[in-house]
Structure formats: C-alpha cells, structure tokens
Amino acid sequence: MVTSSRLFQVRGYPSWLVSAFSERYAGAISTFAITLLAFDLTNSATAAGTLGATRMLIAYGLAIFGGVVVDAYDRRRLMIIRASLSAAIWTTVAFLAVTDVLTFPWFFVLVCLSTVVAGFLGSASESALRSLVTKQDYVRARSINEARDASAQVLGAPISGALYGVQQAFPFIVSSVGQVIALLSAFHLPPLVPTSRTDTTDSTLFKKVPFLTNALAGFRFIRRTPAMVPLTLNSVFSNLGSFLLMTTVTLLLLSRSVSAETIGLIATTEAVGILVGSTLASKISTQFSTGSLAFVANIWSFIALLPVLIWQSPVLIGACYFLWAFIQPANNAALGGYRFSVVSVSMQGRVSAADTLLVGLPVALSSFVAGQLVDHGLALLSFVVSMGLLILAILVVLYPSVRKIPQPHLWPVSEE
C-alpha cells in the first residue's frame, strides 16, 4: 500500500497539491457565492439557474478543445495562466460589488469569462498529476484529492455564506487570494510537457494533424476501450441525477427564504461526508474489486438520497447528503484510478475533456431545468426524475465489462 510519506517525496507533488487545493478552495467559495449573488441581483430562481446552466454549457463545450491544448503544451504553464486570469476576473467582480455598480448583465459576462478560462484550461491540473505520480501512487493521491476537495467545501460553503452575509464582495476577494496562492505554488512545479514513446503530442505533431482530429481522439479512445462506454454512461446518469436533485434543493430552499448560512451548512454536511469517507477511500478501493465497488456505491447513493423525495427539511437533507457523500471518495478513487491506468500520459487531457463533455452537457442543462421546475412549483417532479436517473446509473454498472474490473493491482496499464 502506498503511504502518504512516499507520495509527498515525489518531486513536485507537494507544490501541485497546494496549487490544486487553493484553486479548489477558491472555486468552492466563488461557486456558492455566484448562486447567491445571481439570485439577489434578479430575485429569480430561473435567472440563477440559467446562469448556472450557461456556465456549465460553456465549460463543457470548450473542454474538448481545452483537452487538445492541455495535451500539447506544458501543463505547469497552463496552470499558471489559468490562476492568473481567474484572480483578475474575481478581483474585478469584487471591485464592482464593493462600489455598488455591479449589475446582473455585467456579472453574467464576468462569470462566463471565468468559465471560458476554466473550459480551456480546467483539466491542466489533474492532467499534470498524471505526469507526476505512478499508477501505484495514484489511488492514494486520488483519496487525498477527495479529502482536499471535501476540506475546501467544508471551509468554502459556510465561509462563503458568512462572508456574503457581511458584504457581497468578500467571497470573491477570498477567491482571488486563493487563485494567487495557486499561481505561486504552480511556479514551483517542474516542467510538465506531455510526451510519450507511442503517442507523440508535442506542438510539431499538433501543427501537422488537424485540430478537430486531435480533439476527437478522446472520444475514439473511450469508444474502443472496454468498460469506458458503460463507465461514461454511469457518470452521466449518476452525476445528472445527483446534481439535478441538489440544485433543485438549493433553489427550493432559496425560494422558501431559507438563509444563505443554513444552505451553506447543508452543503457542509456533504463535504464532511466526503472528508470522512476519504479517510477510508484508499483501503476500500484497494480491498474490493472495482466493479463490485461501483455497483455497491451506486445502490448506496440511491438509498441515501431517496428520503429527500418525501421530506425537504434542512436537517434531513443534511443527513442524506452526508450519507451520499460518504461512499463517493472510494468510488471516485477506484473508477478514477482505473481510467488513469488505461489512459496514457499524452492522452490524459483529451480523454478527460471527452468524458467531461459527455457527462457535463446533460448536467449543465439540469440547472436551467431545476430553476424552471422550482419557479413553477414542480420541485417534486424534479426529485422523481433525479431518482430515476440514479436507477439507470445502477443498471449500467451491471454491464459485464464493468463488473469484471478487478482490484487496482490487477488493472491493465497503458503503454507510455
């Protein structure tokens, strides 16, 4: 079993972790504040949901092209560019909010600009991890990532709500600081230019091969690799189902005048569940076959969220979110590690972008759908559809190619 001490001895990994954590921390704060500010500027759940849907459509629509960029250029440099631009954008939002001249159209444009940056460069950080650690290290690294993300959510959601309650600009100021920390940490990374003996992806090749051909390479890889198609479908159904339900919950509570602090605490219970689950993720994901774990995790997720279909009290929602989140780190570490194992270093960006697009586009529409349903008093319908999607996620992992995925030490390894 890989130990944390060994992982932290990997050259560049500590700096990568600080950069990735800071970026995630900034994102947790700004994302929560975006929904609150959009609602306050418009007093409309539909407008808030539309902004969320637009952000996701932009991010996922650009991801396929961003994957090509990430596989062609130094990922360290791309991380630096992303952090710099994000810090500038959130500083602008904070300034406009402080001076009380921020309008929804301007806010919409700035948020979309930040999303364009994330769409093109968002996969640079995770792809950089593939250049830093081995397959043996990755399951442990992924478990740490889950804990990193959860701790950012634990701090981000309530802090964002509390800061927003004092001044609308404060969450965006803190987000800017987080991006600056990510920027400075990225400077300490070694060059991370993706190279491979079997799949050269330097800039010369990218000049010779049509851009669209490179962009579609990730889709071709998913299509021809055993288990990748059902795993992608599982991601679509499970993410769409859970995101639609949770977005509906947030907008429904806002429409009922539940305070931002309370909603932030509900989000925190999810993060705490991930944080607790991440402490066992490495052990669980290595002790059981990945196929069996995927099946159990999807059933667990369905049962955990089912009570929200009937009752929507903040306490019950928080408990359901905690139980749902507890199993996610182990499942993500296992399935993410399997994808890591079968995808070469030079293909990480494009395969990640293809998966992001296929999963993200349906999820992006859920924000708009949730806003419409809440505004028209049809939140229950949204909950029923969400649970139906989670059932489909369970059925997909019954595919033989998924059920037969073994324990991590028996995974196939891609040629480099």
Residue 157 CA to residue 174 CA, distance in Å, equals 12
Over 90: is that where the pLDDT of 184 sits? yes
DSSP letters of 266-279? Answer: HHHHHHHHHHHHHH
Distances (CA, A) of 77 to 13, 74, 218, 347: 16, 5, 22, 18
Mean pLDDT to the nearest integer, 395-410: 88
With CA atoms as reference, report the closest residue to 19 among 192, 166, 202, 188.
Answer: 188
With CA atoms as reference, report the closest residue to 290 among 160, 388, 402, 187.
Answer: 402
* Best-predicted range by mean pLDDT (251-255, 319-323, 365-369): 319-323
Q: What would the pLDDT profile of 31-69 be if each residue is shown by its tens digit? A: 889 988 988 888 887 787 788 778 877 877 787 777 777
| Confidence at 296, pLDDT banded by 50, 70, 90 | very high
Residues 348 and 75: beta-carbon distance below 8 Å: no
Q: What would the pLDDT profile of 105-127 be if each residue is shown by its tens digit? A: 999 999 999 999 988 887 788 77
Q: What would the pLDDT profile of 206-243 be if each residue is shown by its tens digit? A: 454 566 666 677 788 888 887 888 999 999 999 999 98
Over 80: is that where the pLDDT of 266 sits? yes
Mean pLDDT to the nearest integer, 310-323: 89
Mean pLDDT to the nearest integer, 346-357: 76
Over 90: is that where the pLDDT of 201 sits? no
Mean pLDDT to the nearest integer, 316-338: 89
Residues 72 and 209: beta-carbon distance below 8 Å: no
Return the exposure string of 273-291: e unless at least 16 CB atoms fall within 10 Å of the residue's CB, then b: bbbbbbeebbebbbebbbb
Q: What is the pTM of this model?
A: 0.68
| Confidence at 89, pLDDT banded by 50, 70, 90 | very high
Over 80: is that where the pLDDT of 292 sits? yes
Residue 209 CA to residue 206 CA, distance in Å, equals 5
**The dihedral sign for the CA sequence 156, 132, 77, 349:** negative
Residues 225 and 339: beta-carbon distance below 8 Å: no
Residue 297: partners with Cβ closer than 8 Å, 6 or more residues away = 327, 328, 330, 331
Can you tell me whether residue 413 is helix, strand or coil?
coil
Q: Position of tokens 């999820």?
A: 363
Q: Position of tokens 């629509």?
A: 61
Mean pLDDT, the chain, whole residue set: 82
In what helix (H) or strand (E) does residue 235 lie, and over which residues does it extend? helix 228-255
Residues 360 and 60: beta-carbon distance below 8 Å: yes
